[in-house]
Amino acid sequence: MKIIHLILGKANPERMNGVNKVVHALATQQQRAGADVAVWGITADLSENYPAREFATRLFPAQRNPFGVAKALLAALDELSRGSAVVHLHGAFIPAFYTLARRLTALDIPYVLTPHGSYSPAARRKSWLTKLAYAFLFEGYLLRHSARVHCLGLSEVTGVEHMSHTVRTSLMPYGFEPPQAVLPLFPAARGRFRVGFCGRLDDNHKGLDCLLAGFAEFARLVPEAELWVIGDGPDRQLVADWAAEAPEGSVQLLGSRYGDEKIALLGQLDVFAHTSHYEGLPTAVLEAVALGIPCVVTEATNLGSYVREFGCGEVLATASPALLTDALHRLYAQWAAAPAETEALALRCRRMVRTAFSWPNLLPAYEQMYQEALAA
């Protein structure tokens, strides 16, 4: 069986794009397990400006027409062996994927679709009227003809069921390979209680208003508190404005950081906060938790059940500043009064990643999903 992961981009793990990181990790692990796997990327820049990788990669030019697909990509699909190839589409509400779905259906080549959070109810509320019309005209076809819709969390299952009651879903997270801790070149001052966020600065998606307002209220009562915001995006100025309302000097906007530099920053945190309104499964949270950093997450991250099961942080019902403030106070009380509990908390965090997100434990389920797709 040949597995083709098809994405917008190049599966570059050194970019902020979470889908590209996930696809890179999945393809790498499948290759190591002996699968015949490749990544096909649709991109405006065909240069191979990404780190060395273990799986085959083919890049195809993006078209000016959003529904357009390069002739070379269509020809590559035509060359796939019917009955022994599965295409795994990553992303949703992507016009080119509608065109590809029609071609794959005509070729009788099954495809699996991972929406990566785009079908969750909160995500669909953004530009809801446009998405409703698009779903009726195009996305519905993509769903109906998919062999499986791979959901990363329950919020996605709910979203898929709202869009179609006949679509077959597979619910499972992706795995995660814990990073190695890195000593920072410039260690931060001791005695501070550091809360961190890492991700795209997009308020509608990441709930940054909740993050900044909730932290600011917490910092007014805890002078040693700091918030490190790692990342960049369209709402950077808005975040800067909100940061100015927090106690002076308590919020640091660190911009985008990658690789060892990012891991070194995460490793200096005492709490990682992720107050998203919707997600597939945020890798930044897993990166922090794998380093032993407890987290505060919303239910919308699809990580709440894991955080509760392993006891490695706090879960917010919604992205509420007041709920975040209360959660930070509880974690600060543990940090300040019970060093032994802080170490036990770090061990539970690492155990969560090693157990629930172990690639060797999860790859058989992916294999089964692809086999079922071929048999459908």
Q: What is the mean pLDDT of residues 112-122?
A: 87
How sure is the predictor about 299, in pLDDT bands with cuts at 50, 70 and 90? very high
- Provide the token pair at 338: 């019970």
Q: What is the mean pLDDT of residues 268-280?
A: 95
How sure is the predictor about 119, in pLDDT bands with cuts at 50, 70 and 90? confident
Domain ranges of the chain: 2-175+358-375, 193-356
Q: Residue 125 pLDDT more than 80?
A: no
Q: What is the mean pLDDT of residues 135-160?
A: 89
The lowest-confidence range among 25-39, 175-189, 227-241 is 175-189
The architecture of the domain spanning 193-356 is: 3-Layer(aba) Sandwich (3.40)
2-175+358-375 and 193-356 share one fold: yes
How sure is the predictor about 15, in pLDDT bands with cuts at 50, 70 and 90? confident
Q: Look at residue 3 in the predicted model and tell me its pLDDT.
A: 97
Residues in the chain: 376
Q: Residue 184 pLDDT more than 80?
A: no
Q: Look at residue 83 in the predicted model and tell me its pLDDT.
A: 86
Condensed to tens digits (0 to 9), the pLDDT of residues 185-194 reads 667 778 899 9
CATH code linked to domain 2-175+358-375: 3.40.50.2000
Q: What is the mean pLDDT of residues 191-214?
A: 96
Condensed to tens digits (0 to 9), the pLDDT of residues 321-371 reads 999 999 999 999 999 887 778 889 999 999 999 999 999 999 999 999 999
pTM of the model: 0.85
The lowest-confidence range among 41-55, 137-151, 186-200, 275-289 is 186-200
**Euclidean distance between CA atoms 98 and 229, whole angstroms:** 36
How sure is the predictor about 261, in pLDDT bands with cuts at 50, 70 and 90? very high
**Euclidean distance between CA atoms 120 and 151, whole angstroms:** 10
